[in-house]
Structure formats: structure tokens, C-alpha cells
Structure 1
Amino acid sequence: MKFGIIGLGNIGRVHAKNIQDGLVEGAELAAVANQPIDTTDDFKKQGIACFGDASELIESGLCEAVIIALPTHLHAPIGIQALEAGLHLVMEKPLACHKAEGERILAAVQREDQIASLMMNQRTHPCYVRIKQWIDEGELGELQRISWTMTNWFRPEIYYASSPWRATWKGEGGGVLMNQCPHNIDVLQWLVGMPVKVRAQCSFGKYHDIEVEDEVNAYFEFANGATGQFSASTGECPGSNRLEIVGDRGTIITDGNEVKLIRTSESVSTFSKNTDEMFGTPETTEEIFQPLEEVNQHAAILNNVVKAASGEAKLIAPAVEGLNSLELAGAMIYSTWINDEVCLPLDSAAYEQVINQKIAESQPRKIIKTAAKVDMSKSYR
């Protein structure tokens, strides 16, 4: 599959390296596009077609698929153009700035065999893959509670000051929920499904000189009566990553490095109704899963896209499922604005109207002219 990459920032170059290093089987980097075009000189020297405009790459006929790694506000116009041109699409997270925008992207899919995938790479994280297997196999029984404290996304001020679009309503449609936590929100709903109600408190510019949220505390309610809690921050250090999923037959706990499954010997609700022991509890057993090796998650998604395009695999991260994380993020932000709970599904048109007011008032960030040290390996959680 001949890939084109539109956007050669930090993550765009990660995708390029994975393809060029042969980590994506059956893939070739055919073209790149970036502005200004002289930032593509290193690719030009390798004989790769280089463009200063995304439209030129899309219309060139050189590619079968494009990876869009641009600022979020450009995802919709470029993604729609690529899909309408008949190209397979891999969109960097998040799918768009809000749900209605994401819906417009998906409406541009031209045919059933056209791939529209999202770089929700943490769906290939061995710990989350194992959790998904356990849940699907019924190890936990009925969901009772979920809690995710995800506060180790610390970002210093220079991170935001490196680009005018970062941490603005116009550029990203939000802050920690739209830039760092789409992965966690996606994994959450992938594992346990979508809640039906959300109540949240977002703090805007609490730790940084930004207009969007950098701390979030949210409460979820699910259709079966289960509850959930989600906390996120880019202002804490060292922060923590702790996910707990509690069901009637057991509990799963992970910090992203290993997973512990604590099984109960019988249904907790059944035991509670039938035991004659005043302080009795069901017996438990523990199983610990530790990944044997790290997975190149970005390459894994691209490998899956290549196989899905040839009918050899099912998409791991269909772009349509990216609407769920946009919906949850939007619901948390909207709940804060109206100081009330939000019922899901989120009215995408109503939310678009409200966020467009924020976008109209949004101001581009002032860029600090300094050489920021970039180590992309430190950006993954």
C-alpha cells in the first residue's frame, strides 16, 4: 500500500519512520506534504515525492492511503477531501474538534471497502488487550463501577507555547480531553461501553496559560446502574495512571505496566444474599498479567490498516468509533459550561453551536522562539 503523510510534525515523522524502517508490512511511503515545503527536504533527498499543499498530494495519484497528522482543526477539511478522492484514511487522534465535525468526515466515505481508521493506538497496548479479552469472556460479570485516574500527562508551558494552535478552542476544540486523553477515553468506552449520563467539572487554564481545560473530574452513570469516575490533568507531577474496573465476579486493576485480575469464587450479589456470615466475603484468587515485550502501537495500527484494506483483518480502530471519544469529551466540557449533568447521546448540532461561540472568541497562542527539546518517547502513557 502506497501511503502519503500529510503533516510532518512530531507524530507525522514517527509514522514515516515506522514505514521506512519496514515495521509496516506491505507498506511504502510514496509522498509527504508539509508547509513550508522546505521542511520536506530530507524526504526529497530520498526520492520521495514532496508537496507543500495537502490537496496536491491527495490529487497526485501517487497514494492509495493518507495519514493525516495535522492540527485538529484541519482534520475535517483534509479528511473529507481525501475520502472523497477515494483514498483510504488514517486520521491522527482525535477524529475532529467535536462530534458534528467527525460526523461530516465519516459522511464522506465513498464505498464499503474504503478504510477510515483512527490512530487510537492504545487499543493495541497489551494490558488493555488482555483486559478486553477478560471482559468479553465474562470474567467480571455485570459492571458495577469504573474509576480511572489519569494524571500523568504532565505538560510544561513550553509544550503549549511551541505551536499557535495548541490548547485553543479553534485549534483543538479543547485541552487535555482532546489532545492527551482521547486515548484513555477511547479505551474506557471500548472496554465498558458508553455511559448514559455525565456530570463533570473542568478547570480551564488552572495550571497553564491556556484557554482550555487542563484538569477534569467527571462522574458517569451507565444504563445498568453502574457508576464511573474519570480524572485527568496535565498539571500534576508525577501524577498517576490507575484504572479499576469492578464487576459482580471480580475486579481488574492496572497501572498500564501490568494488570491484576481478582476473581471472586461466586457472584458477589448472590453471596451477599445467601451468606450467614455477618462479616463474610467471597473467596478470591488473583491472576497477574505482565507484557513480555513492548508493542510498537503506531506501527500495529498501520499494519492492521494494510491488512483490513485487503480483507485480511477487521479494523482495530474504525474512525466511526472515534465519535464516542468526541462525544464523551464534549459532554464533560458541556457539563461544566451548563453546571449540570448531560445525557448521552450528545446532541452534536447543539454542542457545535455552543463550541463555535468559543471558537469565534479563541485566540492563537503566542509562540516562544526557542529550541524545545523533543523526545517523542516521553509523550506516550
Structure 2
Amino acid sequence: MLRIGLVGIGFMGRVHMLSFTDKPMIPNAYVKNGKLVAVCDIDSKKLEQAKKEIPSLEIFSDYKEMLASGKVDAVIIATPHYLHPLMGIEALKNKIPVLIEKPVGVFTKNVFELNEVASQNPDVVFGLLFNQRTNPFFVKAKEIIDNDGIGKLKRMNWMITNWYRPQKYYDNGSWRGTWAGEGGGVLMNQAPHQIDLWQWLCGMPTKVRAYCKFGKNRNVEVETDVTAYVEYPDGGSGVFVTSTHDAPGTNRLELIGNNGKIVIENEILSYKKLLVPENKLNETATANLMDPKNAPQFEEVIYTKKELGDIPWGVEHAITIENWINTIEGKEELIAPGIEGVKALELINSMLLSTFLDKEIELPIDSNKYYEELMKKCEKSEFKDTWRV
């Protein structure tokens, strides 16, 4: 059985750690096809607690020492965001398969370096914990889109404002809500899964204009409220709205093509397909709007958990970890290849850069310019640790 090492045993690291035991933090979130043999953290108290809970664990305070120990076959990285690319590069150079928590990094500049090392080591499995790619509703949406079920994308609207976080959430750690500690706010910490799904379903836009509100309704340095408009190369457009201070919030995704529409909200997926393709509609016949027969006709299919199945939060993490292990063993293909992580990160960076510079940003972004602007924020940040590199 594959010997797994884990770097970082904060909240999510602890979730992953206990998923390898018979007492996971999340009910039924078991990883059955690998064995956790080692953990690494700079906090000695966390290491002591881990050793009490799993006495067989090897413990390390230096991740490089763990990677060089010969005691792990593969490693999961669940440390602060800034460290993800550095630790990923070290693992790949040591020929050790690696699975990185979201986001893959804070700025594209060093994630491109990570991807370059990955390309030089193609036989070393590099995955990301984008566990929402296992969500049955988004899997179904992807299937419909890939089968040309909505046709050419015209419009994407996603309002996801149910990331409510009180001030106490930010006050629990000096690194939270800071440029030097987290490298961003709702885009970097809460919404990366949805931003990954956005590009996974729609592809990458070519232009971004965003309005990020920093510290809106919360005493933090970073963005807590975002509205972004994007344009796609084939003429489609999109709007993405997210926040951490709306209560109750909304999570509604609309994907509209020239031949159909998908809506996901409240654990329901509605798929409406035009019975007559848009390019064959008789526009003169629809002039009389009072006659329902003259309106475009469609058929609707409704999917719920009953039809698609239910994967509770936390169990998705375990499924993604098991997929990564099976990929290492040659049994499956990765749900979320590591090199794809830069796409979601580029969207995040472009939205922030658009606000920093107060202008529209063309993709691909200037990664050096983003890094320069981010470092200006970090220099003034209240968090003074050494994570940012």
C-alpha cells in the first residue's frame, strides 16, 4: 500500500490526516487505498497531537527532510498558499508524486515554474485537490456541455455569495485576511473551487474587468466582495459575483448557449434544450409575443440528488485523494491534473490586477506585473512572516 506523507496539519491538513483513520473528521470520508505514514508541520504542538492520535506516524518539522527520508512514496501539501509551489517543486524534483491543496499558489509567476518542473518530470503524478470536480451536478453539466448540449456559449452568470465569514473567522489567525499571509481574500481562499469549475466548464476568457472591494464589511486587508465581467474569444460573456458578508447568500450558476441552458441552484440542475436550434428559428414568427406558439420551444430535464447521487462535503476530498493514489498506481486518470491549477489562479490574479490598476485586463496576464503589484500590498501588510517568496 502506498505510503503517504502529509505536509501541514492545520484545519484541512487535519481533515486529510484523519481520513486515513477509522475516525475521520467528516463522516464516511475514508481514504482506503493508501496509508498515512508521516506528517510534517512547524508547530510542535500539532505534531504532538498527531502522534497521540496516530502513534505509528513519523513526524517531521522540515518538509525537505521528510521528502529525502525515503519513508514516503507520495506527499499531500496542505500548507499556507504561498508555500504550495515551492513545496510542490521540491517534491517533483525528488520524484515524489504530489497532491496540492487549492489554490495551487498565490501568483502565476511561480506556478509557471512549478509547471515547468512538472513538465520535466512527466512520470511523476502531480494533482490538485479541486474536489468539486467530483460534485455530481457539475459532472453532469460538464457532460452536457462536452456533448454540445447547449451549443456555443453566449453567457455565463455565477453568483456565489454564500461564503459568509464573520469577523471572528479572520481574527482567529494573524495571517488570515492579509496580503502577506493569504495573498487574497474570497477569491483566493473561499472561491477557488468555483473559479476552477468556471474555467473547466466554460474555458478561459480573453478579457477581464473586475471590481474588488477590499475590507468591505470586514476589518481585513483583502477582497471580501467581487463583481467581474469577462469576454470569451468566440463572443460570449460572463459575470462572476462573490462575497463573504452576505447572509443569506446565493449560489446560482447559469450557462446559456445558442441551443440550450443549464441552471444549477439549490441542489437542482435544470437543463433546457431548444427543440429548434437558435440559428433555425423563424424570427418573424416570434414577433407576436402574445401567442405562446411563437415563442422558442424547448424541452426541460430536471436533475436532483435522486438522479445524480449525493457526495457530502468532505467525502469529495477523500474521493479526490483516492483518485490521485489510483493514478499513481496506474489504475485511473487524474480528476484534476496539477498543471491545470494555473488557469483558475490566472482568473483570480486577473480580477485582482484589474482592480489594482483600475482597468480591463487581457489574458494571459503579465505575471511579472501582477507579482509586482502584489508585493506592494505585501510590503504594507500587517502580517510579517516569511511565507511570501
Stretch moving more, 52-61 or 144-153: 52-61
Local SS of the residue matching 2:71:
coil
Q: For residue 258 of structure 1, what is the aligned residue in structure 2? A: 268
Q: Is residue 2:293 matched to residue 1:283?
A: no
Q: Is residue 2:112 matched to residue 1:112?
A: no
Distance 1:170-1:272 versus aligned 2 partners, 3 A rule: farther
Counting only pairs closer than 5 Å after superposition, residues 69-218 of structure 1 correspond to structure 2 as 69-109=78-118, 110-218=120-228
Q: Is residue 2:19 matched to residue 1:18?
A: yes
1:37·1:51 contact (CA, 8 Å) conserved in 2? Answer: no
Amino acid at match of 1:106: N
Stretch moving more, 79-88 or 146-155: 79-88
1:113·1:309 contact (CA, 8 Å) conserved in 2? Answer: no
Stretch moving more, 343-352 or 237-246: 343-352
Superposition deviation, residue 273 in structure 1: 4.2
Superposition deviation, residue 145 in structure 1: 0.4
Superposition deviation, residue 264 in structure 1: 1.2
2:178·2:222 contact (CA, 8 Å) conserved in 1? Answer: yes
- The whole-number CA distance in structure 1 between the counterparts of 2:100 and 2:219 is 28
Q: Where do 5+ consecutive residues of structure 2 fail to align? A: 23-28
Stretch moving more, 261-270 or 131-140: 261-270
1:198·1:341 contact (CA, 8 Å) conserved in 2? Answer: yes
Superposition deviation, residue 274 in structure 1: 6.4
Q: Is residue 2:77 matched to residue 1:60?
A: no
Superposition deviation, residue 365 in structure 1: 8.6
Superposition deviation, residue 312 in structure 1: 1.9
Distance 1:14-1:276 versus aligned 2 partners, 3 A rule: closer
For residues 5-37 of structure 1, the C-alpha deviation after alignment (integer angstroms, 9 at most, x for no partner) is 111111011111222238223200010012222
- The whole-number CA distance in structure 1 between the counterparts of 2:286 and 2:220 is 57
Local SS of the residue matching 1:55:
helix
Superposition deviation, residue 310 in structure 1: 2.0
TM-score (norm 2): 0.90
Superposition deviation, residue 356 in structure 1: 1.7
2:209·2:230 contact (CA, 8 Å) conserved in 1? Answer: yes
Stretch moving more, 125-134 or 24-33: 24-33
Q: Where do 5+ consecutive residues of structure 1 fail to align? A: 367-381
Superposition deviation, residue 202 in structure 1: 0.4
Superposition deviation, residue 326 in structure 1: 0.8
Amino acid at match of 2:152: E
- The whole-number CA distance in structure 1 between the counterparts of 2:60 and 2:109 is 30
Aligned length: 366
- The whole-number CA distance in structure 2 between the counterparts of 1:126 and 1:77 is 33
Q: For residue 324 of structure 2, what is the aligned residue in structure 1? A: 305
Superposition deviation, residue 344 in structure 1: 0.6
For residues 145-202 of structure 1, the C-alpha deviation after alignment (integer angstroms, 9 at most, x for no partner) is 0000010001011111112222211122211100011111100000010111101100
1:100·1:348 contact (CA, 8 Å) conserved in 2? Answer: yes
- The whole-number CA distance in structure 1 between the counterparts of 2:343 and 2:38 is 31
Local SS of the residue matching 1:66:
strand
Q: For residue 46 of structure 2, what is the aligned residue in structure 1? A: 39
Percent of paired sites with the same residue: 37
2:227·2:239 contact (CA, 8 Å) conserved in 1? Answer: yes
Local SS of the residue matching 2:117:
coil
Amino acid at match of 1:84: K
Local SS of the residue matching 1:302:
helix
Q: Give RMSD over aligned pairs.
A: 1.7
Q: Is residue 2:382 matched to residue 1:363?
A: yes
Local SS of the residue matching 2:219:
coil
Amino acid at match of 2:340: E
Local SS of the residue matching 1:244:
strand
Q: For residue 293 of structure 1, what is the aligned residue in structure 2? A: 310
Superposition deviation, residue 91 in structure 1: 0.6
- The whole-number CA distance in structure 2 between the counterparts of 1:158 and 1:58 is 36
- The whole-number CA distance in structure 2 between the counterparts of 1:197 and 1:53 is 41
Local SS of the residue matching 2:150:
coil
- The whole-number CA distance in structure 2 between the counterparts of 1:191 and 1:129 is 9
Local SS of the residue matching 2:180:
helix
Local SS of the residue matching 1:330:
helix
Distance 1:5-1:28 versus aligned 2 partners, 3 A rule: same
Q: For residue 271 of structure 1, what is the aligned residue in structure 2? A: 281
Q: For residue 377 of structure 1, what is the aligned residue in structure 2? A: none
Distance 1:350-1:277 versus aligned 2 partners, 3 A rule: same
Stretch moving more, 216-225 or 33-42: 33-42
Amino acid at match of 1:151: T
Amino acid at match of 2:341: G
Stretch moving more, 270-279 or 292-301: 270-279
1:168·1:365 contact (CA, 8 Å) conserved in 2? Answer: no
1:11·1:69 contact (CA, 8 Å) conserved in 2? Answer: yes
Stretch moving more, 284-293 or 324-333: 284-293
Pick from 306, 322, 337: which aligns with 2:356?
337
Q: For residue 370 of structure 1, what is the aligned residue in structure 2? A: none
TM-score (norm 1): 0.92
2:286·2:295 contact (CA, 8 Å) conserved in 1? Answer: no
Superposition deviation, residue 256 in structure 1: 5.5
